[in-house]
């Protein structure tokens, strides 16, 4: 009659070996063919997107993404005559409210707002609902 303890010890040893193999395969420096791949972690709805650092504007791009608690890019340089589009990709309503009085009104997810800049200068804006959200459009001749 076989004793149950050796069988349990054998299962435990197999489990430890499997865990060790997975840990080694995902260790830094492991070759791409030996590294285990995993799906990226799910983004939590409670993760504050404001911690995402602002990105520089892509040359020639004229779209600003509005996400919950920020504008991306927060500063954009454009030439006179450029139309800039703001697109709300966040879950909360936001505004694009300029210091000169121009205002988008409340924008929900999927809404956009356009403004064409016909004069050179620096145009500061913010979200009326979230005053910590700041942005600037610098317009050059």
- Per-residue pLDDT of 59-73, as tens digits, reads 446 999 999 989 999
Q: Is the pLDDT of residue 139 over 70?
A: yes
Which tokens go with 47? Answer: 């993760």
Q: What is the pTM of this model?
A: 0.59
What is the DSSP code string of 20-62?
HHHHHHTSTT--TTTS---PPPPPPTTS-GGGSPP-PPPTT--
Give per-residue pLDDT as tens, 30-62.
333 222 333 333 333 333 344 434 444 444 469
Q: Are 70 and 50 in contact (CB under 8 A)?
A: yes
**Sheet architecture: strand order including 134-140:** 75-79, 134-140, 121-126, 97-98
């Amino acid at each position: 009659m076989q004793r149950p303890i050796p069988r349990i010890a054998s299962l435990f040893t197999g489990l430890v070996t499997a865990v060790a193999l997975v840990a080694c395969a995902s260790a830094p420096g492991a070759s791409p063919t030996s590294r285990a791949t995993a799906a990226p972690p799910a983004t939590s709805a409670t993760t504050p997107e404001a911690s995402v650092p602002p990105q520089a504007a892509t040359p020639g791009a004229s779209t600003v993404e509005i996400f919950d608690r920020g504008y991306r890019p927060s500063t954009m340089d454009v030439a006179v005559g450029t139309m800039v589009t703001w697109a709300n990709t966040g879950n909360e309503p936001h505004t694009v409210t300029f210091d000169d009085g121009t205002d988008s009104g409340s924008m929900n997810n999927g809404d956009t707002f356009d403004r064409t800049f016909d004069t050179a200068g620096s145009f500061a804006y913010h979200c009326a609902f979230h005053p910590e959200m700041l942005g600037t459009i610098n317009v050059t001749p």
